[in-house]
């Protein structure tokens, strides 16, 4: 059983360039998956943007990144309600990742007390379990299970 925390950076369409830059600084390998690779129509404006990106270096450095769909501008740091959902306008999330859905579910349940769930913890196209919430302190957490491609 292993649990890790990783900074999860949010970008307005520049995640791939940022990950490549961090690779030039820290070394390692970049893995990215685009919205188009997960089924968004290839002619959609965000199809080429990164929905899941990660840099892992042999020295232990690790950072995750994604492009916020529909976003092409910088960040204000605010939180707002939009169509019944809390939207955080922050350049980072805190990500915790475990080896199994059972393992991360217990953390999810405790973090969810008094939180606003952005996306319920459930299987996704890239992970056996993925969820996002903004906790009662205003911190947005990504909670997920280690994807199979990294096993």
User: CB count, 10 Å around CB of 7?
Assistant: 12
What's the number of domains the chain is made of?
A: 1
Residue 28: per-residue pLDDT: 96
Q: What is the CATH classification number for the domain harbouring 32? A: 3.10.180.10
Residue 149: per-residue pLDDT: 56
Residue 49: per-residue pLDDT: 95
**Please, are residues 139 and 94 in contact by the beta-carbon 8 Å criterion?**
yes
Query: Which structural domain, as residue segments, surrounds residue 49?
Result: 3-150
pTM of this prediction exceeds 0.75: no
**What distance in Å separates the CA atoms of residue 142 and residue 93, rounded to the nearest whole number?**
7
Q: What is the pLDDT of residues 35-70, one digit of tens each?
A: 999 999 999 999 999 999 999 999 888 999 999 888
According to DSSP H, which parts of the chain are helical? 15-26, 101-111
* Residue for token pair 């976003």: 71
pLDDT band at 108 (very low <50, low <70, confident <90, very high): very high
Among 111, 114, 113, 73, residue whose Cα is nearest residue 93: 111
Greatest extent of the chain over all pairs of C-alpha atoms, in Å: 42
41-45, 54-58, 82-86, 104-108: segment of lowest average pLDDT? 82-86
**What distance in Å separates the CA atoms of residue 134 and residue 142, rounded to the nearest whole number?**
9
Residue 151: per-residue pLDDT: 39
Per DSSP (E only), the strands in the chain are 3-11, 29-34, 50-56, 62-67, 79-82, 85-88, 92-98, 116-122, 130-134, 140-145
């Amino acid at each position: 059983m292993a649990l890790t925390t990783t900074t999860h950076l949010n970008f307005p369409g520049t995640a791939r360039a940022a990950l490549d830059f961090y690779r030039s600084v820290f070394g390692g390998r970049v893995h990215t998956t685009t919205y188009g690779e997960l089924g968004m129509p290839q002619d959609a404006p965000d199809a080429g943007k990164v929905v899941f990106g990660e840099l892992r270096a042999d020295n232990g450095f690790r950072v995750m990144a994604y492009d916020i769909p529909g976003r092409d501008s910088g960040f204000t740091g605010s939180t707002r309600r939009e169509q019944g959902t809390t939207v955080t306008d922050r350049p980072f999330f805190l990500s915790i990742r475990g080896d199994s859905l059972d393992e991360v579910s217990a953390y999810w349940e405790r973090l969810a007390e008094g939180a606003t769930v952005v996306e319920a913890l459930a299987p996704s196209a890239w992970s056996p379990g993925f969820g996002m919430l903004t906790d009662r302190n205003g911190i947005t957490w990504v909670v997920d299970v280690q994807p199979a491609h990294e096993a």
